[in-house]
Structure 1
Amino acid sequence: MGVVHRPYGAAGLRDVYRAAQGLCRPVLIFRGPVAGTYPELVELARAMFPVHVLPDDDPVPAVAALRLRGLTTFHDDELDFTDHLLRALDLPGAPATGSPWDKLVQRRAFARAGLSTLPFASVDSAEEFRRALREVRLPAVLKPRRAVGGRGVTFLRDPDDVRRVLSLRTSWAGLLLEGLIPPSAHPSGVPWLADFVSVETVSTATRRTHCAVFDKAPVSIRDAAGPEGADLVRVTGDVVPSRLPAQTRDLVLKRTGEALDALGTRCRVTHTELRVTPDEIEVIEVNGRVGGHLTRLLRPLGGPDLVRSALTLALGETAGEELPEQPADLGRSGFMVGLFVPFPHEDGTVASRVSRADLRALPGVVGVDEVAEHGAARADTGFRAANVTLRFATAEELDAAVGPVARGIAGLFAADGLADDPWLRRLAPAREQGGTP
């Protein structure tokens, strides 16, 4: 079973190793440039799996020679390459359409299916950007057609934002301009939850199972702090089970299924993000792989191992005992939270000295997946200060603890400016910090 790998994906080496037990023998595959950039990762993989580094010129014969039964990836940057190999080698899971994870392709498909009236236009030059603005109008969002996690996103709220983009951006290829979905509040009324959710779906050739709905922690946005004048947009956490009202949850699942039908998605585990507003449920994007950091939250609550499901689907297997057939009943086992706290500035090295023991001392923390080390480049942890797992027995315990935990992490990394990061105001309001509400 081939796994095209690189760091900072939805599943690490340990996740793949654990999920494959009794199912398949993973073969880790690295493209040449990835192996050259991350040689230590390649050596670590060799200690756990057979490893193959592909030639740059024509990788298809090299992969064909491995005689794999299946192939998958857990990293968005490797999806298109993996899909190319799936088609070339006639392996299970090849997409029905050419580039289903391209946001422009998705917008067109959703519009044709009557799922969205959001205005949009492709952008490949400054002139096309000006023309697209006349069609889409402000407020709008300029984003890469192929990127995740908020990378490269620019919010355009007024003419000043437009002038900034035109003056700072030099690379225009492969962009999408779309209307800004109005910000809203989480339908549960819980003030610290963000206004969007994700749905994790296992699709076989004949059925779909929406395994779980995840609520989200507030997004961190720093205006014009990214490359080429883009905003620095970072997701900060996931919560399961979702606290959506039952009727809204049903509509979210229905819209997710409709979006996957519009894209012709089969034999995949997908991660669909949707914005929930009082008037509409709008699909933000569909990602053709397991959602990042989510299996670690599902498994303790009795939910499925989505990494294992992805490996199973890639093998072409549809055995009932290997794939979930209905959503797990997660609510009886409490709440799991994955909180990944971003650095407010991505350049430079880590100034704070924080240990795993420091993080484990915070209320509700049951696991520390990552902690940035003093003196290391902030890029070494994907620009995250810490990535922790929390567990709470009740919603009341969760709501009471999430602010102190976020404030505690910010305090531990105060030397790196986390205490002043605006997204914390949603998790830890001023009155909790001893300031003026």
Structure 2
Amino acid sequence: MILFTDDVARAHERVVNMASQMFQVAVAPLSELAGTCNSLKLKGVTTFHDAHVEDVDFVTRALELPGAIAVETPWDKFVQRQHLLAERLTGVRCFRVDCRDDFERAVVALPLPCVLKPRRGVGGSGVAFLWDTGDADHQRAERLDWTGLTLETWLPQGAHPVRPDWLANFVSVETVSLGDAHHVVAVFDKSPIEVVRRGGREGADMVSVTGDIIPSQLSEAQRDVICARVRDCLETLGVRWRVTHTEVQLTPDGSDIIEINGRVGGHLNRLLRLVGGTDLVRAALSVALGLPPALPATEPDGYAMGYFPPFPIRGGQVRSRVTVADLRRLEGLVGVDEVAAAGAAQADSGFRMANVTLRAATADELQRAAAGVARGIRELFAADAEGANGAEEVDMADAVTGHGGADEASTGVEGRER
């Protein structure tokens, strides 16, 4: 059964019609979601959309379904920090910000640099890095909506211990939680994020994640320490019967938690399936019913990468004419999920030129393939790198290999600043 809220159904009638050809479909106002689920006698409920994780929590608690979380609003970043701080599972201090006065009090209490970000949301949207008092003044001048934010201390910046020239200094940990057992099914490395300072709305920086790599090249000992910390965090939040996606910062002294998300991590399931790993979608559906899913015990078969480079100059329409067939010719590339269409708004593709998948037998082969694919995508989209308004052209191959840029940070992650 696929449930749509009525506002989504009205806005995406075509999608609802398509879904109804393959599945049972129900439409309900958000306020009546629990009652609808009850009348349909559903045995479980889950979501793959971050905006609805709290709705799943509400329904599971109201109907006593599998997946009910003990902590209220556990995916709120401020709430998470408070619980993790109490158990000494993070060293990050934070303040809740819901108005300008909250910000003024917090920016006095926390030493710079620090990070202002939404308490809910994904992908770096709305994040602003406050390096100095000038950045704080920029927020005062540009930001109109102060609700739903948190200001937190800067996470110490480490480096990837194996491939700092290519991989970012944060990882993600994918976990399947049953009753009181938290099974780590994958650890992903990341390619460096890209940051356009003050490039977002209302004073925010524009943050772009560029890629995921499986398996992680951290040592087994390093992975074990990180995974143990994630399990402790999930236990502290009272997570049960849930697939979670946790981002972890690599610090000079070890690691710290960036954030914990109560759903499958975007774009990751396709990579796990390429290397014979856990099917996260199937696992999420299974645990929503309170049933333990099948968890492969084998090591990943080779290496895979999801790569989604942003436009070097963001805004306006796509200039380049690039097809799926053009991308398919790039060596090492095995899948094309999306390509920005000529004439469309860059925003239609999330300001990404393309979203592609690579596969290789070894880590070295994957790195070489990634550099070649990055260079090939840059050349195919050359028209979108021409210096409109004097903007800088950026070498996208450097963005993947980690060369040629100054280190920056997201919610505590390494990146490149433009």
Deviation by residue 1:394-421 (Cα, 9 ceiling, x = unmatched): 1121222212211211221222239924
Q: Do structure 1's residue 99 and structure 2's residue 73 form an aligned pair?
A: yes
Q: Distance in 1 between matches of 2:314 and 2:74?
A: 30
Match of 2:116 in 1: 142
Q: Do structure 1's residue 329 and structure 2's residue 299 form an aligned pair?
A: yes
Unmatched 5+ stretches in structure 1: 1-26, 432-437
Match of 1:379 in 2: 347
Deviation at 1:430, TM superposition (A): 5.5
Select the residue among 355, 358, 366 that pairs with 2:334.
366
SS across alignment from 1:35: helix
Deviation by residue 1:201-227 (Cα, 9 ceiling, x = unmatched): 111003221011000011011111111
Deviation at 1:306, TM superposition (A): 0.8
Which letter does structure 2 place at the counterpart of 1:361? R
Deviation by residue 1:37-77 (Cα, 9 ceiling, x = unmatched): 32332222222212222125533322322211111001111
Select the residue among 190, 196, 201 that pairs with 2:175.
201
Deviation at 1:164, TM superposition (A): 0.5
Match of 2:309 in 1: 341
Select the residue among 38, 41, 44 that pairs with 1:67.
41
Match of 2:321 in 1: 353
Moved more, 103-112 or 128-137: 128-137
Deviation by residue 1:272-323 (Cα, 9 ceiling, x = unmatched): 10001121310000001111111111112111101101100001113xxx33
User: Does the aligned pair in 1 maintain the 2:50–2:121 contact within 8 Å?
Assistant: yes
Counterparts of 1:229-244 in structure 2, within 5 Å, are 229-244=203-218
User: Does the aligned pair in 2 maintain the 1:201–1:208 contact within 8 Å?
Assistant: yes
Q: Do structure 1's residue 425 and structure 2's residue 401 form an aligned pair?
A: no
Select the residue among 8, 12, 19 that pairs with 1:38.
12
What's the TM-score once normalised by structure 2's chain length?
A: 0.91
Deviation by residue 1:8-61 (Cα, 9 ceiling, x = unmatched): xxxxxxxxxxxxxxxxxxx11111222223233222222221222212553332
Deviation at 1:343, TM superposition (A): 3.1
User: Does the aligned pair in 1 maintain the 2:117–2:149 contact within 8 Å?
Assistant: yes
Q: Distance in 2 between matches of 1:370 and 1:68?
A: 34
Which letter does structure 1 place at the counterpart of 2:371? G
Q: Distance in 2 between matches of 1:41 and 1:150?
A: 27
Which letter does structure 2 place at the counterpart of 1:425? D
Deviation at 1:376, TM superposition (A): 2.2
Match of 1:275 in 2: 249
Say if 1:395 and 1:179 are closer, same or farther in 2 by CA, change over 3 A. same
Q: Do structure 1's residue 125 and structure 2's residue 96 form an aligned pair?
A: no
Select the residue among 276, 279, 291 that pairs with 1:302.
276
User: Does the aligned pair in 2 maintain the 1:125–1:173 contact within 8 Å?
Assistant: yes
Give aligned pairs, total: 399
Match of 2:238 in 1: 264
Q: Do structure 1's residue 186 and structure 2's residue 160 form an aligned pair?
A: yes
Moved more, 157-166 or 335-344: 335-344
Q: Distance in 1 between matches of 2:305 and 2:233?
A: 27
Q: Distance in 2 between matches of 1:361 and 1:296?
A: 20
Deviation by residue 1:315-350 (Cα, 9 ceiling, x = unmatched): 1113xxx33275x411xx211000112235654332
Q: Distance in 2 between matches of 1:377 and 1:47?
A: 30
Counterparts of 1:276-295 in structure 2, within 5 Å, are 276-295=250-269
Deviation at 1:184, TM superposition (A): 2.6
Match of 1:174 in 2: 148
User: Does the aligned pair in 2 maintain the 1:219–1:423 contact within 8 Å?
Assistant: no
Q: Distance in 2 between matches of 1:57 and 1:304?
A: 34
> What CA RMSD, in Å, does the superposition of the two structures yield over aligned residues?
1.9
SS across alignment from 1:387: strand
- Percent identical residues: 48
Say if 1:172 and 1:103 are closer, same or farther in 2 by CA, change over 3 A. same
User: Does the aligned pair in 2 maintain the 1:185–1:191 contact within 8 Å?
Assistant: no
Say if 1:84 and 1:365 are closer, same or farther in 2 by CA, change over 3 A. same
What's the TM-score once normalised by structure 1's chain length?
A: 0.87
Counterparts of 1:19-30 in structure 2, within 5 Å, are 27-30=1-4
Unmatched 5+ stretches in structure 2: 387-391, 406-418
Q: Distance in 1 between matches of 2:11 and 2:133?
A: 40
User: Does the aligned pair in 2 maintain the 1:348–1:377 contact within 8 Å?
Assistant: yes
SS across alignment from 1:205: coil
Q: Distance in 1 between matches of 2:348 and 2:17?
A: 17
User: Does the aligned pair in 1 maintain the 2:200–2:206 contact within 8 Å?
Assistant: yes
Which letter does structure 2 place at the counterpart of 1:250? D
Match of 1:58 in 2: 32
